[in-house]
Amino acid sequence: METQTLRDLMVEHLQDLYSAETQIIKALPKMEKAAHNTELKDGFRMHLAQTQEQAQRLEQIAKALGFSPNGKKCKGMEGLLAEGEEIMKEDGNLDVLDAGLIAAAQKVEHYEISAYGTAIAMAKQLGEKDYLSLLKQSLTEEEMTDKKLSQVAESTINVKAASHQASCET
């Protein structure tokens, strides 16, 4: 595809975002299985359903704008998910590994927050108000997921992981 206009760039960006979401849909069941903390497992399971809805929203936007949501591979997400897979293959203290899963998941969330923010900015600039609310809804969900991951890390998992550090040093 030739990129000549901001709309062309936005289409490519939305295709990239759709690829990211479909990659996450494949990764979340693996992350849930690898997690040991019940709250973290539940969070990954809930985010899977949310991510499926986000992909459907992107399909809806693509249809409305007359382009296929496929056609681009999000290499950034591919790399972030590969880092997460490395953590899933490691052996070690279960709480420390869960903290690593949270860190990997938050990298993914931050990527998505940035991507949705960019899509919203482009849509606003182009006057594409018809689907702005769909993009904003996905952005809000990503921000809430990031906050929930921080809350689980700070209240439980990182606390346990840090206590393992203390026991290793004595």
Domains and CATH numbers, the chain: 6-169 (1.20.1260.10)
Sign of the C-alpha dihedral, residues 2, 64, 134, 60?
negative
Token pair listed for 63 = 């249809």
CB-CB contact of 139 with 113 (8 Å): yes
Residue 170 has a pLDDT of: 52
What is the C-alpha separation between 66 and 68, in angstroms, rounded?
7
Residue 141 near residue 54 (C-beta atoms within 8 A): yes
Q: What confidence score (pLDDT) does residue 166 get? A: 52
Q: What does the pLDDT read at residue 71?
A: 85
| Residue 56 to residue 69: CA distance in whole angstroms | 10
pLDDT along the chain (170 residues), means of 10: 89 97 98 96 96 98 95 95 96 95 97 98 94 96 97 94 67
